């Protein structure tokens, strides 16, 4: 493991996916130890699966207690029911919530079915604010540089909003579906503004297919065309990336 600083970002370079997952779980554990009622910002996708497994193991071994933790997920497909096994609500139950003791009323995920999108996005932002905003935000990164489902655009979105998914994202996520036509075309996502309000951010990336997005995020200009680049302006951002993801730095 090697730590370097680049463009205001602390970069922890690890060997592989396993080491990335273990290191990320240790940071979450430390956060909850320091503040039992931490607000955790959580991500879905392949990247954090290993971290969730590590955290579940730590919970089983009595190393961490999530009783007072509040969780806010970054995003959800739209429209989708929480019962649908492609929903992020389902992902979170499968990969994390059913294995730990985060209380049901402390699990927040954007509502994939509410027809009044404006009202449900505003309600999500208000709930986040009422909880005091995120203490520790876990992020992955898309191959197109998205964070949450903030896709490349002409401006940065501030609050939770409805997004038309980018063609690249639909292609990338097709691996979770039987056919690419089944990938939802829209999603609800926390805004870049809400993400930037987190007190600490930890971004995880593994694999060669993330190397170019990581390079552009760390070394490129801050631009909404690569949403993750705004993280250069965050005061407490740590990247935990494996050798392949770091290969273009």
Residue 112 or 140 with smaller CB distance to ligand PGA = 140
Cα dihedral 180, 183, 184, 190, rounded to 10, equals -130
For residue 166 the two structure tokens come to 């980018």
Residue 39 or 141 with smaller CB distance to ligand PGA = 141
Q: Does 166 participate in catalysis according to the annotation?
A: no
Please state the closest distance from residue 204 (CB atom) to ligand PGA, in A. 8
Candidates 54, 76, 125, 151; catalytic one: 151
Sole binder of ligand PGA in the list 89, 102, 141, 246 (CB under 6 A) = 141
For ligand PGA, the nearest residue by Cβ is 45
Closest CA to 203 of 172, 165, 232: 232
203 binds ligand PGA (CB under 6 A): no
16 binds ligand PGA (CB under 6 A): no
Closest CA to 123 of 141, 138, 110: 110
45 binds ligand PGA (CB under 6 A): yes
Candidates 54, 73, 146, 173; catalytic one: 146
Residue 46 or 118 with smaller CB distance to ligand PGA = 46
47 binds ligand PGA (CB under 6 A): yes
226 binds ligand PGA (CB under 6 A): no
Q: Does 85 participate in catalysis according to the annotation?
A: no
Q: Exposed (0-12), middle (13-18) or buried (19+): which is 55, by Cβ within 10 Å?
A: buried
Residue 166 or 232 with smaller CB distance to ligand PGA = 166
Cβ atoms of residues 166 and 151 within 8 Å? yes
Q: Does 154 participate in catalysis according to the annotation?
A: no
46 binds ligand PGA (CB under 6 A): yes
Please state the closest distance from residue 87 (CB atom) to ligand PGA, in A. 15
Q: Does 90 participate in catalysis according to the annotation?
A: no
Residue 50 or 121 with smaller CB distance to ligand PGA = 50
Candidates 19, 54, 73, 75; catalytic one: 75
145 binds ligand PGA (CB under 6 A): no
> What is the spatial order of strands in the sheet that 161-164 belongs to?
75-78, 186-189, 161-164
List contacts with ligand PGA (CB under 6 A).
Answer: 45-47, 140-142
Q: Which residues are catalytic?
A: 75, 144, 146, 151
């Amino acid at each position: 493991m090697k730590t370097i600083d680049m463009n205001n970002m602390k970069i922890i370079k690890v060997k592989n996916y396993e080491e990335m997952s273990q290191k990320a779980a240790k940071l979450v554990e430390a956060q909850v130890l320091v503040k039992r009622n931490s607000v955790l910002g959580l991500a879905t996708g392949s990247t954090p699966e290993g971290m969730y497994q590590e955290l579940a193991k730590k919970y089983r071994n009595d190393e961490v207690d999530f009783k007072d933790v509040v969780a806010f997920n970054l995003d959800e497909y739209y429209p989708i029911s929480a019962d649908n096994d492609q929903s992020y609500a389902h992902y979170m139950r499968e990969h994390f919530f059913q294995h730990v003791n985060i209380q049901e009323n402390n699990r927040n995920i954007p509502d994939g079915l509410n027809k009044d999108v404006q009202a449900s996005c505003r309600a999500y932002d208000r709930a986040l604010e009422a909880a005091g905003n995120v203490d520790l935000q876990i992020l992955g990164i898309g191959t197109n540089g998205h964070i949450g489902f903030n896709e490349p655009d002409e401006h940065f979105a501030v609050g939770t909003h409805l997004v038309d998914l980018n063609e690249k994202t639909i292609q990338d996520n097709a691996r979770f579906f039987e056919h690419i036509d089944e990938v939802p075309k829209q999603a609800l996502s926390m805004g870049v503004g809400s993400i930037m309000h987190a007190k600490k951010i930890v971004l995880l990336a593994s694999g060669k297919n993330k190397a170019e997005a990581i390079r552009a995020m760390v070394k490129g200009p801050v631009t909404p065309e690569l949403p993750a680049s705004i993280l250069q302006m965050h005061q407490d951002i740590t990247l935990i990336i494996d050798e392949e993801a770091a290969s273009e730095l």
